[in-house]
Every structure is written in C-alpha cells, then in structure tokens.
Structure 1
Amino acid sequence: MFDRFKRRSFLQAVVAVAATTAFGCSDDETSSDASEKYFPQSVCSGDPRPDSVVLWVRAVDPDNAGADTTVRLEVSTSESFSSLVLDQSFTARASFDHALKVKVTNLSARTTYYYRFSVDKAGQRFSSATGRTRTAPNATDDVPVKFVFASCQDYIGRYYNAWQRLLQLNEDLDFVVFLGDYIYETTGDATFQSVDGRGVAFSEPEKALRQGTGLTGFYAANSLSNYRDLYKNLRTDKMIQRVHERYAFIITWDDHEFSDDCWGDVATYTDERVDEKQTERRRNAEQAFFEYIPMDHGASGAGAIDINAVVSQPTRIFRDFEFGRNLKLLVTDTRTYRPDHLIPEDGYPGTVAVPQEQLNLVLPTLPAPVQAQLQSDMFAYVDIDVPALTPYKQVLTAVYVQQALAAGLTQEDAGARAAQWVSGNLALLYVNQVVAAVNQQRVAAGESAIPAIPAAGASRGLAYAHMGKTGLFGMQGSRYVVVKPIFDLFAAIKYMGSQGATENIFGTEQEAWLRQTMAEATNAWKIVVSSISLTSMVFQLSDKLDVPDLTLRQDFYFNVDQWDGFPTKKQEFLKFLRDSQVRNPLFISGDIHASFASVESGIPALTAPGISSGSIKELAGLAVIGAGFSSGSTVYRHIVTNLNESLAEANPGISFVDGDAHGFVVLEVNGTEAKAAFHLIPSAEVAKDYSLRQDGELTSKFKRLDFVVRDGVITAA
C-alpha cells in the first residue's frame, strides 16, 4: 500500500500522527492551530502540595468571544490519559476573561500528573496542549528537592532565550519559583525598556495612562483590560508556554505587576509631583494577576475547586510550602504592606529630617570620628522662618517656584509647594549653595551679592541633601544613589521614633507568620522567597581619590527600593534568625537584574538575574550618562565599567556577582547542603530570537557557575 502514497501525502500523514501523540492530542482532536484558537495561552499549573495542585487555562470560543465557555478537564497519571483521576467540566467565565483555575485535590504525593482541557463544538473536540505537573513529597519523605528560581521577564523588545535554555536542559524539577515582575506594566518606557523589536499594544489604549510625550511617549496599564492584555500577550510566547506546560510554578509579585517601584497602591511615575495613590488601578492589577497566575488562594474543600469563583480581594499571597523533610519554602510579599520610601521623592533637599535633639540621642553611641563629622559645619542648619532670615527665605522661595514650574507644576501648585517646603529647619549646605548660584546671576546683572549664612552657633542635623537629594522631584537621592552612612543613621533614628513603622516591609501579620514559621520549621532548609534582593549593593567611592567631585567621594547605596532601603529591619530580622538558631536559612531573590551569591550578616542569599529585563549594568550606564558623566569618566569607570569589582569590594560578603547577564538558577537541596547552578547568557543576546536558530547556537552562549551553600557559607563548586 505504501506505493499508493505520494511522498507529500506520506509526510502529511506523519505530521498528523505526530500531532496526536506526545504532549499532544488524541485521534479525535484537531490540529494545534485549531487548539490555539480555543486555548491561545496554552496551559499551566502551580502551587503544588502533596495532595493538590492548581491547573490553569484560558478557553475562548472564537465564534462567540463574549460567552462563557464550557471546558472539560482531564487529569491522569499517564501521558496517554489511560488512567484518569479526574474528568470533570467547568465554566471559563467571560467575567474572568475566560481564565479558569481549578484546584485539584485528593492527589498522591510526589507524583507526575498529566492534564488537558478541551471544548466540544459542533460534534468536534478541541483540546489544549497536554501539561505536566508534579505534586510535592510527603512531609516525612527524605528526598532531595530541585527547582529553578527566576524573575523579571520583560517582553518589550526582548526574547525568552533563558526559558528556551531551561527547556533544552530538560531538568527533572519539582517546580519553578518566579520571584516577581512576571509582566511589565508599560509598553515601552525608554528609561529601562527597549523600544525596538516586539511590543505590546493595548486593546483599549484610551483607558491606559499616557506617560511621556512625542517619540518618548508610552502607555502604562491602568484598566483591567490593560493588565489582562499584558498577560495574554506575554503568554502567547511559545517558550514560556512550553515551560509552563512542563513545570509547576510558585509565583509571587513584585512592583511591575502593578507599577514600577510601587508601595501598596501608590505609584511613583511622577516622583510625587502629583498624588499617585491609585487604589482602583491596583485593584485591576491584582484582578488580572489572580486570573492569570496558577496560584492557590487558600480555597478549601475536596475534589476539584474553581478558584476564580471564590477568590476576592484583598487576597493574601504570602504562603508556605513543604517539600518533604528537606525544604520549607516561605513565599513573602514585599510590596503590599511596605511603607513609603524613607526619603520622599518630592523632599526638599534642604529640609532637615533629623534635627539636633534627635541626633543627640544617638551621637554618644557613634565612634568619635563620626561624632566629630556630624558636628561639623557641613551639618549646620537654621530656622529659615526667623525674621532676620526673611530675605533668604524669599530667595529660596523664588528659586523653588522657578524649578517647580520647570518640572511641570502650575503656578498655583508651585507656590503652595514652596510654602510647604521652604520653611522650618533648612540645611546651610543646601541654602548657601542656592545663595551662591543666585549671587552669580546678581553679580552678572550688576547687583550686590547676598552673604552666605554663617554656620557658627547653628544647630546640627541631617537633611535630605546629606543623603544625596539634589532636586525637587526625582528618584536620585530618594530611591537610587543614596549616601549610605547618613541614610543608615537616618533610617535607624526614624525606626526608633516610629516603633518600626517606617521600615515595616512585611506588615504585622506577615512578619508574625514568617517569624513563627521559620522558628518552628524542622525541615533541613528554610528558604525565604523575597522578590527584592537581600544582597547589599554599595558603590564605595569614599576612598576613590580619582573621583574629582568631592560630593561624589562617598559610599552610595545603588537602590533603596530593595532591602537596602530597609536597613534597620533587615538587620533586626537577620538577628532574629541567628538568635533563634534557625538551621539553614537561605534567601532567594530577584528584582535587581543581576546575579549574586552572598552572605548577609551570617545569612546566605542567592539572587537570580532577570530572564530578559535590562541588566543592572545597562541601567547603571544609562543613569550615569544621564547624570552628565561621560563613558570615559572615572565615575563611569567605577560604577559601570568595573561594576562587578566595585560591588564586591564594597560588600565583603559577596562571593559572586554578575551585573550584566540574564538567566536563571537551578537549586537542589538535601539534608546537608544546597547546590546552586547559575545559567547565564550575556545581555547582548537578549534582543535575539534564538527560537529561530539551531539549538547549538543558544547552548554556546550560556555559561554555568556552580556554588555550594553549607553551614551558612557559600563556596564555588
């Protein structure tokens, strides 16, 4: 019979058979193209426990997009679905964007399950891709646990070569931890996103937030449809579909699931030029997250539970998992409960944040050289409202209004802000700089100069200017590039005065849960999942004599939106872990788009690079050039060119750093040690789509670095 087939017909038959076998469909199903029409985002699973797992799909009827869709779910221990453990129908509701999440219970521990969804229409069955998932081992099982952790997968102009590499490795994983920034809420913010290559267009752009102007303009998600578009678009990528089809995910969120550098429901796009408390927008972001992420929201009951039907906001996402005797995994939420950044983005540089009476409370506890420095003229301040200083207040007010108008404020708002900020205690370091600048203009105009205010006899205190704040509105000196020693002192004083509220990153309920769970867990490893990195990132420029600007010859935190912005709470919590003698605590983190292995105050920490988001070296380079330093300057060399060396020099706990690579980390834990393998690809490769190339090309771009964590020490393997 073979000779009756033409070669083309034979190949077509082979392709048809292949499409119905492994991870595919049965013989009564249609092609993958038809499947994609009904299940455009494929399938995924998440939150595996010994007896349950969450299964997800988005099912749409292309001929009736506004209607609910009846979906059949089959779960089996065999890839051929010959041994079903569940065969049940559910409804993918249009009100949830046709996303369906089912928590399947009564499963067996540490067992691989296969699952698929299907819809019946006009006598035909349309099936999704077949997904594979694995439940957790029983609490008493003494088995090694292997998983991947990763973060930050910006879709704009970038490709998921890291996920493709994980698929190539075909690791036998128990699950994948995703540490946040699953989506990015903007459609092309040139300050950190690529504007070339693939992008995202909102279906309802009129409901989005327009940011920037002209060629640099972009949209930020605002409405529920905007946020849904981001998930739908990202999950059409074939690499992430295949990773989700193969492994169960445990996911937390960071900032970009809502808004860059957010805290609670407050955004930071305008650096406090306007009030950015956006409760409805935050609610929309959470709704889309809950719809598209295969997360267990604590739904209880037996059998198969439609989670979307019972979830409500606000929903607690901090939770813990147990994988046998060797792993307790604690997933934290470091965005929802945190307070505002310690230094306000609209903080007036001259404003004294710590007056003399507060500073005097801690001065005796500081080393003598530090005491002497803090009592020097650099920290002198005056009450600008004293009648004798009225001419100076008028000058400062006029300059403030001028700068506020240039920043885009109205005359009325600029005047009101000036009245608010140009008052009370102001640092002479800043006041006299403004006076000097005004004097240049006055002298040029033939007017007499205004004398500087003398520091003799003035009080001493800490102002925002001492921490690096130079402008009225901005992230520099508030969220990024903050003077470390002054910020640490300021943070500690504020922490004491507020009974810890100023750095309450976890919130009361979450911190109580975290402390109790860590202290009581008997598993060999207690791993804290933190979306933000625990590794301290400092640029130590204080001893760099080749830096010509003395104001820059200091030690700076690079980013105080991460754990460095909560220095008192960080040390307090790490001390609790040490004092409680918690065995084998380990932090795994993301957010910062860099790779770190470090020991922070006795606690080991591993940070994964971004899957695709711009590396920290790229972002630091843009920031330094934007601040006016050329690529040939000494500042650029210390901060950008020698980034890895500079960070390692300033933090002796760092044993490994790579600030210019993408990738993921494979982590395996057993009763005595944790083995971490960093799989890294240079940032220059992220804009190339390796799914269109031979596998060997991508393999050659990756490097692997191995480390072992044992007894609180990290060593190269």
Structure 2
Amino acid sequence: MFNPFKRRTFLQAVVAVAATTTFGCSDDETSATPDGSPYFPQSLASGDPRPDSVVLWVRVEDTARAGQDLPLRLEVSTTEDFSSLVLDKKDLTALAAHDHAVKVKVTGLSSRTTYYYRFSYEQDGQKNTTRIGRTRTAPAAGDDVPVKFAFASCQDFIGRYYNAWQRLLQLDQDLDFIVFLGDYVYETTGDTSFQSADGGRTVRFSEPQAALAQGTGVTAFLAANSLSNYRDLYKTVRTDRQLQAVHERYPFIITWDDHEFSDDCWKDVATYEDGKRDETQLERKHNAEQAFLEFIPLDTAQSAEGVVNVDNEPRFPNTRIYRDFEYGRHLKLLVTDYRSYRPDHLIPEDAYPGAVALDATLLGAALAGQPDAVKQVFQADTFAYVNIDDAAYAQHKQVLQGAYLSQAKAAGLTDAEAAQKVGLWVKGPVALFYVNQVFKAAGFAALQIAAADKPRGLAYAHMGKSALFNIQGSRYVVVKDTFDLFAAVKYQLSAGASEDVFGPDQQAWFNQTLASATNTWKMVVSSTSLSALIWDLRAKSDIYDPTLRQRFYFSVDQWDGFPTKKKVMLNTLKAQGVSNALFLSGDIHASFASVEEGVPTLTAPGITSGSIKELAGLALLGAGYAPGAPVYGYAVTNMEKTLKDSNAGLRFADADSHGFVVVEVKADETLATFHLIPAAEVAKDYSKRDPSELEAKFASHTFRVKNSDIQPA
C-alpha cells in the first residue's frame, strides 16, 4: 500500500531539490539557502578587470562566531547556472582581523569574457550562498573593439537615496566597467553644513566613543577616527540594495578622494579646525586606508592569484592606488591619486588676512613683462603695506595683536594657542588695506596709516581672506587674478613643489604611461574637477560692493587651486603630442564638459551629494547675502550662466542635478551622455515605486569628443 509523505518530510524534499537546482552542482552533502543569504549583508563585488584577471570581493558575517575566522568557498563560471566552472576554490578564509572581508584575485581568465561568481559559507551543515555576481574581463591589448563604461562620484548616504544607481540598472546597458571617482563613503555621521537629517538613512558607529566629536549643540556630529568607525561607513553604505545590485552587475575601477579619509584633506592632514590647530593624523589616515583596502575590490600590490593580503598593500606615505588599465586598441585608462601626495592649500586657513604674501620685490618680479595697465593696478593704495615691526609702529602692532588675540580666543583657541598664533602672524609686512580697517573697528581710527610713499605688495586679504580660521579666501571663494599671480610666484620659488599634486613617483608614472601609450584614447581619471569654475563679477554694476566685482574661483580644493601645475600639465600633453587625451573627474557635485588649455575634460555629478548650487547657496546665506541680492543671483540662481560667461571653454554646465555619465569609446570619437535627475529628488526613495516614475525624472545630454573639442552630439 502507498505510504504518502508526511507534510514535514515533503517540504524538506522540495527545499532540497530547489537548492540543488539553484546551485547547479553536486554538493549533495549540504543543503543551501536561497540567494542573498543574510550571512552576506553587503552582497559581493568585483573590480580592477584586466584581460586575464579580476578581483572579487565579499564579506561574511556570523554573529554567533564573532571574532573567529570563517571558511568560504568561491565559484567562478562562464555560465550563470555554474555548469562550466573555471574556478572552485574551497579553502578561502575570511579573517576576523579584516572584519571578515575578503578580496580574491582570479587569474588565467579569457579576455573580454563575462564570468559569473558566487561565494558560499557553511554553517552547521547548511550551505549559505551570496547572490550571483557578474563581471567582465578587459579586451586584449590591440583588440579593435569599442569600449563602453560609466563614471560617477560622491554618494553621501545620510538622508539620501541612490536613485541614480537605480536608473543605471534600469537602463541595463552593456557596460565594460564603472569608474568611481571618489567619496565612496563620507566620514561624518551628520555634518549639518552639508548632510541631510533623515532617521531612515543614517550612519551609526558601533564604537562612537572612538570617533572624533565635531561641532556643538544641534550642529554636533561625529567623524570616523578608529578602524571600526571607518569599517562601519562601508558596511552601512553597502547595505543599500541599489548599490549592491550595481556591484553585482558590473566590475568597478575605483579611486578615492577626500571623504574616504577627511573632508578637504591633503596627505595625512585633516581640515576640520581650519588652521586653529595642527591636524596631522597619521593613525587615522592608516585606519581609513585599511578600511578602504578591505572593502574595495582593487589590487594595489599587483598580487599573484589568490587572496589579496591587505596587510601587504602599501600605506601612507608609501600608498599606491594610482594604476592604469589597457582596454584593447582604443583605450588607455590612467587612474590617478589626487589626495595622497598633494601639498597643502596655497592659502593657509589660519593666514592673517593682513600678512603680505608677496612683498614689493617679489611682486615687481612677478609683474615683469606684464602690460603697463596690469602693473598700474598694483600701484593703487589698496596694495600699500608697512613693516609693523618698525619702531614707529609699536603702538599699531600692540593694537593689532590685541585684536588678533580677541578674535583667536573667540574662535576657540586657548590663551597659549592664541599667543603662539599671534607671534607667528602679526609681524613683518602688513597690508594697510586690512589693518586700517582693524584700527577703525577697534576704536583706534587715529592710528590709520596713510598709503602714500609706502611699498606695494600682495596680502592674503587681496586674495579674498577676510577672517581668521576660515575656509573663505583659503579653500573657497578666492580672488582668481591675485591668487594666480601668488601661485605662479610660489611655484617658481619652490621649483614646482608648492603645486606638486602627484608627487615624484606618481608623476614619473603619469608621464611615462602617457608618453608610451599607443591607444587611440588616453583617458585620465582625476577625483577632482579640471573644469575652471570661475565667477566673473567684474562688470556687474548692480553689485555695489567693489570688493565683489572681481573674478573668483569657487573652490581651490579642486585643480583650480593648483593653477600653475594644471596649465603646465595640460600644455605638456599638447607639446608631447599626446593625442586624444580626455580627463574624467568628479568631486564638485555638478556636471561639466569643458576644454581646458586645449584638452577636453568631463566632470560627473554626484550620485547623491549636495549639489554645488545648493552648497554655494548655503555659503552665501551664511555670509549674509539674501536670495534677492545681486551677488546671490549671479553665483547661485544663475550659476550655470555665470560659469559659462566666465570660462570660454565651458561647453555644458548643470549645477543642480545628480546622476552619472555613460562613455562610449570608438576609433574616431568618444560619446559622453550625462543622465541627470534634479537635486530635489534625492530625498525620495524610488526603489519601491513604479519604475516609470523614476524614468520620467531623468534627462540625458550627449556630447561628442573629437579633435580635442567637445560639442553637443
């Protein structure tokens, strides 16, 4: 007589059959969970694709075995059902010392081939598997094939949603890879100066006591400091399903910018204090690098096959994440590192506005060969200065020191710190343009010094520095013409060291790689934008403050901050006959297409990070300019027009959208398509809505790069 299955036995059989079908393999000894096991909360990813290799990444998490190393298995196949395995590596170990994150370099692969991969973790006889990842190797050197990729940057997580990544997935384009230009994570938990507040999209540190406390009261936030803090950033960001899906779909080529360590950083130095105190933070820098190398699928040490030992990857000051990729006959991709070796911003944040940066001798030498009209400008009383250390100015110096000490202590410096700073800055040549204003404001108008017969020089105040310990006039909103002059003198006096962005080793690699590349296109990945972002307000008669009727750089944390180096680099490319060079950049949270010194450059918008228009608006409101003020209109409301009018090479500007750029590399031209969504949509989660709603919010703009120019396609 037929004995039917009991219900429990029947369900167990169904599960077993389903699991075997899913895996497409003969592991009869264990059952398996569905794809997307909870043991893999960050899913998986691939990166650094080359013709014969790729780096695969995963992180496993088992709270029941916290602190223990965990066994893993990796399978790689040419078919999605894993019936044609090219690798079955069963001896992987996810080390607790690396937060159970693993990078595996798979070699011996075929060029321009799609591979499928998955990781699995066995626990109590149960086989738990990741979702299936897909990756693609690069074409072989010399292959005459087109290349298609996307590039993007800046994906602040807090209070924002990855609608741009969702749109890229909707398009389902056949991309070879994705370039991510930096700011993959943001080191802060809710800096109100630029981050939104949304309880549904926050970062919480597992060890908040180890973080850096910043701000006070309602503006208080934490900045990552310890290794666990930085790991928490990546773990949180990679829980986003849209980001996970993009990583599962495409290999990434990634560099870092500042927020992977600290906002507007240089080398191992942070800038939160704006010059009030030394912020050299070597241990913090190493923690940031450790987490980046653990969680990003790249291979900085050019490892052999197998697990990439993160402990062997070089750290600051010997960091090396710059590298290049060959994509057939038509593309050489150079991925540069803008942050690890660059010097400080040329104008110190703690610069005393009245301090003369170029005295009469240096200024005269800098102006030699300039038209008489330019020389005449610097003969105005505005540029007069005196040596405040002269005995005749003893009382003047005392008043200036007193005013400085008062301002420094109001900014939060201790008595000892303020005394050290005043001794450093209030001395020597000082600009009358600035100090006479101090005398008047302090109630000592009678001490004002006449400019007649005084030497002329260039002070920090002439470059836009108006206050102590401030980003205005140091990192942002700098007077272009005086800054360019100052930068050129410093560049010459330091033999280029003042603007040595790349450092000697990276510079040598950069020069040699470009000079030897025979590919049709030589594309340079730079985390920061090369497009000149200038506000030319000289002819704006409705702006009544004459100090505002000048040309300003919006940000000198970008390449605009190293104008001499930028010009030398771009002109050297032309002089050496490097054809079809194209720069790909990000960081500034806006979309630009421009030709700089005859070299095309494209700048991607942020995936989510506050747009440049939004940030500029907040800055001007903070400076006391209402939205109806003329300067607000030129610099914010009509920013795109102002930028285009101020930079003849600017072909396209969108200062208030998020998105990404898709690039199609061909033998005779490159097409670049900006896919953009208004910034106002970033706080809305489209992942649970009808896909057509998101599609309707996006607009696209395509440009053709050809013959060292960019034009609408």
Tell me the TM-score normalized by structure 2: 0.95
In 2, Cα distance between equivalents of 1:661 and 1:70: 44
**Deviation at 1:310?**
3.5
Conservation of the 8 A alpha-carbon contact between 2:355 and 2:460:
yes
**1:184 partner amino acid:** Y
In 1, Cα distance between equivalents of 2:447 and 2:314: 62
How many residues were matched structurally? Answer: 701
Aligned to 1:337: 341
Check 1:309–1:262 CA distance in 2 against 1; reply closer, same or farther (3 A cut).
closer
- After the TM superposition, which residues 111-130 of structure 1 pair with which residues of structure 2 at under 5 Å, given as runs? 111-130=113-132
In 1, Cα distance between equivalents of 2:678 and 2:92: 44
In 2, Cα distance between equivalents of 1:214 and 1:493: 43
Aligned to 1:446: none
Aligned to 1:368: 372
**2:389 partner amino acid:** D
Residue aligned with 1:36, SS: coil
Residue 468 in structure 1 maps to residue 464 in structure 2: yes
Residue aligned with 1:459, SS: coil
Structure 1 residues 328-386: Cα deviation after superposition (integer angstroms, max 9, x where no partner): 00000000000000000000000001111111112222121110011221111100011
Residue 100 in structure 1 maps to residue 96 in structure 2: no
Aligned to 1:72: 73
Conservation of the 8 A alpha-carbon contact between 2:31 and 2:125:
no
Residue 694 in structure 1 maps to residue 690 in structure 2: yes
Aligned to 2:596: 600
Residue aligned with 1:530, SS: strand
- After the TM superposition, which residues 598-637 of structure 1 pair with which residues of structure 2 at under 5 Å, given as runs? 598-637=594-633
Conservation of the 8 A alpha-carbon contact between 2:44 and 2:247:
yes
Of 388, 400, 406, which aligns to 1:396? 400
Residue 173 in structure 1 maps to residue 182 in structure 2: no
Conservation of the 8 A alpha-carbon contact between 2:337 and 2:502:
yes
Residue 408 in structure 1 maps to residue 384 in structure 2: no
Aligned to 1:258: 261
**Deviation at 1:23?**
12
**Deviation at 1:684?**
0.4
Residue 200 in structure 1 maps to residue 196 in structure 2: no
In 1, Cα distance between equivalents of 2:50 and 2:387: 61
Aligned to 1:384: 388
Aligned to 2:279: 276
Check 1:478–1:19 CA distance in 2 against 1; reply closer, same or farther (3 A cut).
farther
Residue 327 in structure 1 maps to residue 336 in structure 2: no
In 1, Cα distance between equivalents of 2:239 and 2:650: 38
In 1, Cα distance between equivalents of 2:692 and 2:584: 30
Conservation of the 8 A alpha-carbon contact between 1:188 and 1:218:
yes
Of 468, 471, 477, which aligns to 2:473? 477
RMSD over aligned CA atoms reads 2.2
Residue 502 in structure 1 maps to residue 498 in structure 2: yes
Conservation of the 8 A alpha-carbon contact between 1:23 and 1:129:
no
Conservation of the 8 A alpha-carbon contact between 1:299 and 1:307:
no
Aligned to 2:41: 40
Structure 1 residues 414-460: Cα deviation after superposition (integer angstroms, max 9, x where no partner): 12211221110000110111112123xx6xxxxxx414201111111
Residue aligned with 2:587, SS: coil
Of 552, 559, 565, which aligns to 1:563? 559
In 2, Cα distance between equivalents of 1:410 and 1:546: 43
Check 1:24–1:233 CA distance in 2 against 1; reply closer, same or farther (3 A cut).
farther
Moved over 6 A (4+): 22-28
Conservation of the 8 A alpha-carbon contact between 2:275 and 2:350:
yes
In 1, Cα distance between equivalents of 2:487 and 2:674: 34
Of 275, 293, 297, which aligns to 1:294? 297
Of 525, 534, 538, which aligns to 1:538? 534
**1:109 partner amino acid:** S
Of 207, 217, 223, which aligns to 2:220? 217
In 1, Cα distance between equivalents of 2:349 and 2:37: 46
In 2, Cα distance between equivalents of 1:311 and 1:25: 37
In 2, Cα distance between equivalents of 1:511 and 1:141: 28
Tell me the TM-score normalized by structure 1: 0.95
Aligned to 1:671: 667
Unaligned 5+ residue runs, structure 1?
A: 443-448
Aligned to 1:233: 236
In 2, Cα distance between equivalents of 1:520 and 1:397: 57
In 1, Cα distance between equivalents of 2:24 and 2:209: 40
**2:67 partner amino acid:** G
Conservation of the 8 A alpha-carbon contact between 1:299 and 1:310:
no
**1:281 partner amino acid:** R
Residue aligned with 1:146, SS: strand
In 2, Cα distance between equivalents of 1:459 and 1:175: 58
Identity of aligned residues (%): 61
**1:558 partner amino acid:** F
Residue aligned with 1:402, SS: helix
In 1, Cα distance between equivalents of 2:642 and 2:19: 53
**Deviation at 1:410?**
1.2
**2:256 partner amino acid:** W
Residue aligned with 1:63, SS: helix
Check 1:23–1:342 CA distance in 2 against 1; reply closer, same or farther (3 A cut).
farther
**Deviation at 1:25?**
13
Residue aligned with 2:92, SS: strand
Structure 1 residues 609-648: Cα deviation after superposition (integer angstroms, max 9, x where no partner): 0000000000000000000001111111011100111111
Residue aligned with 2:63, SS: coil
In 2, Cα distance between equivalents of 1:420 and 1:252: 37
In 2, Cα distance between equivalents of 1:25 and 1:474: 65
**Deviation at 1:581?**
0.9
Conservation of the 8 A alpha-carbon contact between 1:103 and 1:307:
no
Residue aligned with 1:499, SS: coil
In 1, Cα distance between equivalents of 2:631 and 2:190: 28
In 1, Cα distance between equivalents of 2:400 and 2:540: 33
In 1, Cα distance between equivalents of 2:25 and 2:388: 74
Residue aligned with 2:446, SS: coil
Check 1:438–1:62 CA distance in 2 against 1; reply closer, same or farther (3 A cut).
closer
Check 1:25–1:464 CA distance in 2 against 1; reply closer, same or farther (3 A cut).
farther
**Deviation at 1:37?**
2.4
**Deviation at 1:311?**
2.5
**1:145 partner amino acid:** V
Indicate the larger mover: 20-29 or 288-297: 20-29
In 2, Cα distance between equivalents of 1:292 and 1:280: 19
Conservation of the 8 A alpha-carbon contact between 2:301 and 2:312:
no
Conservation of the 8 A alpha-carbon contact between 2:409 and 2:418:
yes
**2:419 partner amino acid:** G
**Deviation at 1:305?**
3.8
Residue aligned with 1:668, SS: strand
- After the TM superposition, which residues 155-166 of structure 1 pair with which residues of structure 2 at under 5 Å, given as runs? 155-166=157-168
**Deviation at 1:119?**
1.2
Aligned to 1:574: 570
Unaligned 5+ residue runs, structure 2?
A: none
Of 300, 315, 338, which aligns to 2:319? 315
Residue aligned with 2:38, SS: helix
Residue 148 in structure 1 maps to residue 150 in structure 2: yes
Check 1:58–1:248 CA distance in 2 against 1; reply closer, same or farther (3 A cut).
same
**Deviation at 1:533?**
0.2
In 2, Cα distance between equivalents of 1:306 and 1:410: 47
In 2, Cα distance between equivalents of 1:484 and 1:690: 41
**Deviation at 1:18?**
11
In 1, Cα distance between equivalents of 2:612 and 2:26: 43
